[in-house]
């Protein structure tokens, strides 16, 4: 099947299937990373729960072929659509550290500006119930998912601050369980809630 034929299907489709086919063809036929990353973005826009496409974008980012700001946007889209694995939360926490450094250096935050401040305020309120509620926290502690707990707490710290219930209780739990966690390294590297979330 020719790529031009698949492109025609993509133009007329609101579903992710033709884009998945296109991504598969691109991965096997050429190394056009901008086209491939756009294809995976299109898949995530149609199916935010698609972990495979997010994983491919993370891999491209780690190889230097995909911008951190774009990865941040796609992780946010994925988290809006699903309850993510600890690897996704780790990547999100890494993005926050990089954004914090960008802000400290006085550079413009393209990604955050793309979404309005109002949209982020609504998202923060929604995520406090969706991803960081007391029930979710209790379930994660009971399940012993300490990597998930660690990375989510690091992200919650960036979004809400150290006094936020999920963060303080997760820290207390990890300390009590004497978990060797990256959480404290993330918290040490960040000094405050970034200004774009205040």
Same domain, 95 and 175: yes
Question: Residue 170: pLDDT above 60?
Answer: yes
Same domain, 193 and 98: yes
Percentage of the chain surpassing pLDDT 90? 37
What span, in angstroms and rounded, lies between the C-alpha atoms of 36 and 23? 6
pLDDT of residue 115: 61
SS3 state at 16: coil
Picking from 31-40, 78-87, 90-99, 188-197, which range would have the lowest pLDDT averaged per residue?
188-197
CA 2 to chain centre: 33
Domain range enclosing 184:
86-197
Same domain, 154 and 117: yes
Angle between helices 33-46 and 17-29 (to 10 degrees): 160
Same domain, 107 and 58: no
Q: What domain count does the chain have? A: 2
pLDDT of residue 91: 95
Q: Which of 13-17, 42-46, 178-182 has the highest mean pLDDT?
A: 42-46
Angle between helices 51-62 and 17-29 (to 10 degrees): 30
Same domain, 99 and 190: yes
**What is the chain's mean pLDDT, rounded?**
80
Task: Say what the pTM is.
Answer: 0.82
Same domain, 35 and 116: no
pLDDT band at 193 (very low <50, low <70, confident <90, very high): low
* pLDDT tens track for 18-67: 556 555 666 666 777 787 788 789 888 888 998 988 998 999 899 999 99
Provide the total of helices (H) and of strands (E) in the chain, helices listed first: 12, 0
SS3 state at 109: coil
Question: Residue 129: pLDDT above 90?
Answer: yes
Q: Which of 170-179's residues contact partners 24+ apart within 8 Å by CB, and which partners?
A: 170/137, 173/141, 173/149, 174/146, 174/149, 174/150, 177/146, 179/146, 179/150
């Amino acid at each position: 099947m020719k790529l031009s034929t698949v492109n025609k299907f993509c133009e007329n489709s609101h579903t992710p299937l033709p884009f998945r086919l296109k991504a598969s063809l691109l991965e096997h036929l050429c190394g056009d990373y901008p086209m491939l990353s756009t294809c995976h973005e299109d898949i995530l826009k149609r199916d935010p729960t698609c972990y495979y496409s997010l994983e491919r974008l993370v891999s491209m980012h780690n190889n230097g072929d995909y911008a951190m700001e774009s990865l941040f946007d796609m992780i946010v889209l994925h988290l809006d659509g699903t309850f993510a694995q600890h690897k996704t939360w780790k990547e999100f926490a890494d993005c926050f550290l990089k954004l914090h450094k960008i802000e400290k250096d006085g550079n413009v935050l393209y990604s955050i500006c793309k979404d309005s401040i109002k949209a982020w305020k609504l998202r923060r309120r929604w995520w406090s119930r969706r991803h960081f509620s007391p029930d979710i926290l209790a379930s994660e502690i009971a399940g012993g998912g300490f990597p998930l707990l660690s990375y989510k707490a690091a992200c919650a710290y960036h979004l809400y601050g150290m006094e936020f219930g999920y963060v303080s209780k997760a820290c207390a739990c990890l300390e009590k369980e004497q978990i060797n966690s990256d959480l404290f390294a993330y918290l040490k590297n960040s000094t405050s809630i970034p200004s774009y979330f205040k």
